C-alpha cells in the first residue's frame, strides 16, 4: 500500500511518464578546456545558503514509509544542507520536527475550511521555525487516483495526521480543505510575514497573476502527475512561466527530477532550484535519515560533475547556452 501511494499518479499516469521523458529529450552542450578546477553548487534562496539548488518537496504521510517519518526526513535534509518543505499532511507535529533538526524548513499549506484554523496553523508553522509558506493551488479537488483506490490507501492504526484529515470514499478523496482563490492569496499575505510561494502553476497567465498578487515565488508543478492526467511535463511548462515572470521572483520546479543533469536543464530554462519528491521518499523508506541525505548527495555530486562537463564553474553561471537546443521541442 505504501509503495503504491508513493509510486502512483492520476488516471492512466501519462503525465507521470512525461515528467521523466521530457527531461530525457533535452540535450546538453558540452564544453572543454574551461576553468572548472573548482566548481560550486551552492545557491542563496530567500536569504539562506543551500548546499545545492534542491529542496525536499512537500509530500504526505512519511510514517507510511519509515517508522520515524518526518523526523528522519528533517534530519536527513539538515545533514544535506537543503530545505525540507513540511506537508500539511505530515504525520508528525511541527514542534516535534523542530526539536530534532535545526535545518531550513518551509511549510506547505492547504486552506483548512475556515480562516481561523488556517491562521492558527500558519502561526504554528512560524513558531516552529518555518521560513516560508508554500500554498498548494492546483488541488481544488483530487484527481482520479485509481492505483490509490485499488491499494486501499489509508493511515494504519497508530499513525495520524495532526493537521490534515481525509477519508477515501469509493476511490475519491474527500478533504476538509477549501478550494483556494486569488482572494485567499491576498488574505494569506495579510496574516503572515513569511514569504508566500504558490505551488502548482503551469501557465504564463497564472504566473503573471501570481506576480500581481504579491507571491514571493512560484513552484512550477503538476503535483507529481497526481491530479490532472495529460497536462504537460513540468519542465515543458517552465519556459512559458519563466517568460511571464521575467526574473521578478524565484521559480522552483518539481516533477521528474531524477539526475543532476535534470537540475542543470531546469536552471537553464529559468528555474532557481528544483524540488524532489519520490526520490527522497524511496530513500527514506530504504535508509531513514541517512537515506535522505545520501539521495541528495548523489544529486549534488552529479550536478557538480555536470557543471564541469558543460564548462561552468558554478550554478550561477548556468544559462540557456548549456543546452544543445536553446528552445527544446515539446
Task: Give the CA count within 13 Å in the CB-facing half-sphere of 9.
Answer: 21
The answer to whether the CB of 280 falls within 8 A of the CB of 56 is: yes
Please name the residue that has the C-alpha cell 476538509.
176
Please name the residue that has the C-alpha cell 529542496.
55
Q: Kindly list the distances between the CA atom of residue 151 and the CA atoms of 139, 217, 246, 254, in Å, as whole numbers in the listed order.
A: 21, 35, 43, 25
Q: Is 223 a catalytic residue?
A: yes
The answer to whether the CB of 224 falls within 8 A of the CB of 12 is: no
User: What cell numbers appear for 280 in the block?
Assistant: 527522497
User: What cell numbers appear for 169 in the block?
Assistant: 470514499
CA–CA separation, 77 vs 82, rounded Å?
6
Give the CA angle between residues 47, 76, 41 to the nearest 5°.
50
User: What cell numbers appear for 31 in the block?
Assistant: 564544453
Please name the residue that has the C-alpha cell 504526505.
60
From the candidates 66, 154, 165, 223, which is the catalytic residue? 223
Question: In this structure, what DSSP letter does residue 277 have?
Answer: -
**What is the signed CA dihedral for 149, 107, 62, 297, rounded to 10 degrees?**
120
The answer to whether the CB of 112 falls within 8 A of the CB of 156 is: no
Q: What one-character-per-residue DSSP string does 81-115 give?
A: T--EEE-TT-SS-HHHHHHH--S-EEEEE---SSH
The kind and range of the H/E element at 215 are none
φ/ψ of residue 72, rounded to 5: -65, -40
The residues carrying an active-site annotation are 223
Amino acid at each position: 500500500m505504501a509503495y503504491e501511494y508513493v509510486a502512483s499518479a492520476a488516471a492512466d499516469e501519462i503525465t507521470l511518464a512525461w515528467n521523466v521523458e521530457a527531461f530525457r529529450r533535452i540535450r546538453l552542450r558540452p564544453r572543454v578546456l574551461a576553468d572548472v578546477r573548482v566548481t560550486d553548487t551552492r545557491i542563496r534562496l530567500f536569504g539562506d545558503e543551500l548546499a545545492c539548488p534542491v529542496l525536499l518537496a512537500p509530500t504526505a504521510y512519511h510514517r507510511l514509509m519509515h517508522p520515524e517519518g518526518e523526523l528522519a526526513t528533517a534530519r536527513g535534509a539538515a545533514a544535506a544542507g537543503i530545505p525540507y518543505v513540511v506537508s500539511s499532511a505530515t504525520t508528525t507535529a511541527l514542534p516535534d520536527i523542530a526539536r530534532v533538526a535545526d535545518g531550513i524548513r518551509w511549510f506547505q499549506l492547504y486552506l483548512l475550511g475556515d480562516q481561523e484554523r488556517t491562521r492558527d496553523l500558519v502561526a504554528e508553522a512560524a513558531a516552529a521555525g518555518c521560513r516560508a509558506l508554500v500554498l498548494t493551488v492546483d488541488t481544488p479537488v483530487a484527481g482520479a487516483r485509481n492505483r490509490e483506490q485499488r491499494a486501499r490507501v489509508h493511515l494504519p492504526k497508530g499513525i495520524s495526521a495532526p493537521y490534515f484529515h481525509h477519508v477515501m470514499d469509493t476511490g475519491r478523496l474527500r478533504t476538509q480543505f477549501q478550494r483556494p482563490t486569488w482572494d485567499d492569496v491576498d488574505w494569506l499575505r495579510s496574516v503572515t510575514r513569511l514569504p508566500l510561494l504558490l505551488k502548482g502553476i503551469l501557465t504564463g497567465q497564472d504566473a503573471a497573476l501570481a506576480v500581481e498578487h504579491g507571491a514571493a515565488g512560484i513552484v512550477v508543478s503538476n503535483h507529481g502527475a497526481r491530479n490532472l492526467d495529460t497536462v504537460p511535463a513540468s519542465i515543458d511548462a517552465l519556459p512559458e512561466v519563466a517568460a511571464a515572470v521575467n526574473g521578478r521572483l524565484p521559480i522552483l520546479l518539481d516533477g521528474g527530477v531524477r539526475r543532476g543533469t535534470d537540475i542543470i536543464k531546469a536552471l537553464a530554462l529559468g528555474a532557481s532550484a528544483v524540488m524532489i519528491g519520490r526520490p527522497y521518499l524511496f530513500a527514506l523508506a530504504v535508509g531513514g535519515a541517512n537515506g535522505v541525505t545520501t539521495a541528495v548527495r548523489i544529486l549534488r555530486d552529479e550536478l557538480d560533475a555536470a557543471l564541469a562537463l558543460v564548462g561552468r564553474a558554478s550554478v550561477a553561471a548556468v544559462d540557456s547556452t548549456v543546452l544543445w537546443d536553446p528552445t527544446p521541442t515539446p
